[in-house]
Amino acid sequence: MALREIVHLPAPILRRKAKPVIKFDKTLQTVIDDMIETMREAPGVGLAAPQIDLPMQLAVVEYAEGEDEEEENEDREIKKKLYVLVNPEIVKVSEEKVNGVEGCLSIPGLVGEVERHKEIQVRALNRHGKPVKHKVEGWMARIFQHEIDHLNGVLFTDRAAKIWKPSEEDETPLD
């Protein structure tokens, strides 16, 4: 495994629609492992292939519901769940939307208030090419939508109602 360089705006790849993955070979497995390592090192909770300069429909997400309350529950270990999403597609969304603050590893120094669907259902392939379906809500739904946007050349700044430079007390970026 190796750390990959995260590209920043104005890198043109961040604005392009990524191509579907068709080969589930050793090279893809290496890319997935590198993306997981890069995401964790950044640190982020998600990373899309275009962010490491690869135009493929691939994203990784790792987060645990309740992670934000970690300080309050120090004795309880929070288990993070890792998702590998190949060729993901949002197939169902809730009517209810919620606002939240997002940041991005490819746009350092900025955060924004973004409205997202509260719940979504995603169809994708796992790292071995097997179909998977994920029904996620809350913060996890926000992360999935953010990463899938990356695969379509859309950035959180395109959807933000307002954008600002965060103070040191503000939360870390989504990806």
Summarised one tens digit per residue, pLDDT across range 116-166 is 999 999 999 999 999 999 999 999 999 999 999 999 999 999 999 999 998
> What is the model's pLDDT at position 66?
63
Segment 74-93 shows an average pLDDT of: 87
Evaluate whether residue 3 is within a structural domain.
no
| Span 19-28, pLDDT tens digits | 999 999 999 9
Evaluate whether residue 5 is within a structural domain.
no
> Any idea what DSSP says for residue 44?
-
Evaluate whether residue 124 is within a structural domain.
yes
pTM greater than the 0.85 cutoff: yes
> What is the model's pLDDT at position 70?
45
Neighbouring residues of 142: CB distance < 8 A, sequence distance ≥ 6: 98, 100, 102, 114, 116, 174
Evaluate whether residue 16 is within a structural domain.
yes
Confidence class for position 170, pLDDT limits 50, 70, 90:
low
* Higher pLDDT among residues 167 and 8, named by residue: 8
> What is the model's pLDDT at position 25?
98
Inform me whether the pLDDT recorded for 11 exceeds 70: yes
- Boundaries of domain holding 18: 12-164
Within 10 angstroms of residue 37's Cβ, the number of other Cβ atoms is 16
Confidence class for position 79, pLDDT limits 50, 70, 90:
confident
Residue 134 belongs to domain with CATH number: 3.90.45.10
Evaluate whether residue 7 is within a structural domain.
no
User: Within a 13 Å sphere around the CA of 57, how many CA atoms are in the beta-carbon half?
Assistant: 18
Nearest CA among 116, 118, 100 for reference residue 171: 100
Segment 86-115 shows an average pLDDT of: 97
Is 71 an annotated catalytic residue? no
Segment 1-7 shows an average pLDDT of: 94
Strand order through the sheet with 81-93 = 46-48, 58-63, 81-93, 119-125, 131-137
In the chain, the number of structural domains is: 1
Q: What is the mean pLDDT of the chain?
A: 92
Evaluate whether residue 25 is within a structural domain.
yes
Evaluate whether residue 175 is within a structural domain.
no
> What is the model's pLDDT at position 75?
52
Evaluate whether residue 1 is within a structural domain.
no
Q: Which amino acid is at 56?
A: M
> What is the model's pLDDT at position 103?
96
Q: CB of 30 within 8 A of CB of 58?
A: no
User: Given 72, 147, 169, 171, which residue is catalytic?
Assistant: 147
Nearest CA among 19, 15, 18, 47 for reference residue 33: 47
Q: CB of 128 within 8 A of CB of 160?
A: no
